[in-house]
Structure 1
Amino acid sequence: MLKEDNEKMFKLIEEVSNYEDIKISDIPCVDLYMDQVTTFFDEKLKNLKRDNDEKILTKTMINNYAKAKLLLPVKGKKYSKDQMVLLALIYNLKQTLSINDTGLVLAPIIKKLSSSKESQILEEIYNTFLDINKVQMEEFNQWFKNKIELVNKKSLEIESNDEDLVQHILTVLMLTSSANMQKRMAEKIIDDYFKQVKEE
């Protein structure tokens, strides 16, 4: 890629990593009605939208999660702090995993919360996830820069009049290949651990 194309790629990665996760302290202490829940997520995660019309969470999505038992039962049509945290986790998981796999991952936490054995576990897991995510984002920036150098080098081996097109295709293929490997690894862990937990 030309120097200006590289700079454009680096600017894109800044856009990808320049967003704030929903923190526990962002979630209101009072229970929220459905409209307030969807507005909250739409406002807090608006930087993750590809276009302005996209909805982060809709009423239908949330109702489907409730039916699939990905949430604690709703009391009086209001959503608690724990349910909001679960929705934040569901949003992250559903970008990669199926609803069924998401349910398998969250089921043990929901079980613990329902029995009130470990009431703090959800917040502790979520806060730790945010810490890990921050580190991963910093590592991804460097990883991506290294991979762009590799793509640039390998693309020179392809004879083409449209070098820019070749490099962009290779970049997308490289990113999706990496995402697919990570998805398969997550699915292997779900199959190896979470499916057994469900059967116990």
Structure 2
Amino acid sequence: MMQFDEKALKQLVEELSLTQDIKITDIPDIDLYMEQLTSFMESGLSNQKRDDQDKILTKTMINNYTKAGLVMSPVKKKYNKRHIILLILVYYLKNILSINDIKSLFEPVLNNIETPEDDLISLEDIYSTFLEVKNIELASFDERLIDKATMIKEKTQTIDKDGKDTAELFLVVIMLIAQANAHKKLAEKIIDKYFAKT
């Protein structure tokens, strides 16, 4: 069991590699076939995997997202920059939201997924803003985590030394889950109130 302290928490946050992103400039300007697309996504988002067996994006996933209307059909079996941006966004969103919620979220902003001219905000602007907000959020993530961990340490002062680190780590996990749940519920509430069709 690792020792629970500020240094260990900072190291765990660093190991997450949350600031490594596929930037707009990393996305190829040429269209990709399915195999090239899955390879590109696998290498670009490999830092997001929990373990080596995880798959970032499979042919089946892409076909399911296309059927669900989250991504437009390929053009002559090729995927362009717009496809790739949508698939990256879906990858991040599906960790929190259902496919129906993602569709509800996309519909009014992207209007008609097939035609970029109808977008309320350009897909490239949406993606650039997503990355910017994500990185702003992460910039202070470890500081906020340390503050909460310090509060947890204070609450566990009476636990004997043998079980103290385990108890503190358990409470950190519970705190992170509570925080993630609150954010998820708020996102769902906004989608239900402002994006979902009645």
Q: Cα gap change, 1:60/1:3 in structure 2, threshold over 3 Å: closer, same or farther?
A: closer
Cα distance, 1:51 vs. partner? 1.2
Give the CA deviation at 1:18: 4.7
Cα deviations by residue, 1:162-196 (Å, 9 ceiling, x for unpaired): 1121111101000000000000000000001101x
* 1:1-200 pair list within 5 angstroms: 5-115=5-115, 116-118=117-119, 121-158=122-159, 161-195=162-196, 198=197
Q: What count of residue pairs does the alignment treat as equivalent?
A: 197
Kindly state the Cα deviation for residue 147 of structure 1 after the two structures are TM-superposed.
1.1
Task: Give the whole-Å Cα distance in 1 for the aligned partners of 2:4 and 2:113.
Answer: 51
CA contact 2:71–2:113 (8 Å) conserved in 1: no
In structure 2, stretches of 5+ residues that fail to align are none
Rounded to whole Å, the distance in 2 between the matches of 1:40 and 1:23 is 13
Over the aligned positions, Cα root-mean-square deviation in angstroms equals 2.2
**Contact kept? 2:110, 2:120, Cα under 8 Å:** no
Does the residue aligned with 1:162 lie in a helix, a strand or coil? helix
Q: For structure 1, which segment, 38-47 or 15-24, has the greater mean C-alpha deviation from structure 2 after superposition?
A: 15-24
Q: 1:183 to 1:119 in 2, by over 3 A?
A: closer
What one-letter code is carried by the residue in structure 1 that aligns with 2:28?
A: P
More helix by share: 1
Cα 1:172/1:4, change in 2 over 3 Å: closer
Secondary structure of the residue aligned to 1:190 is: helix
| Change beyond 3 A, Cα 1:166–1:3 | closer
Alpha-carbon distance change, 80 to 125 in structure 1, aligned in 2, over 3 angstroms:
same
Deviation at 1:114, TM superposition (A): 3.2
Would you say the 8 A contact 1:72–1:110 is kept in 2?
Answer: no
Distance 1:119 1:79 in 2: 22
Letter of the 1:172 partner, please give it: V
183-192 vs 7-16, which moves further: 7-16
Change (3 A) 1:21 1:113: same
1:108-131 superposed Cα distances (whole Å, 9 cap, x missing partner): 234245342349611111111111
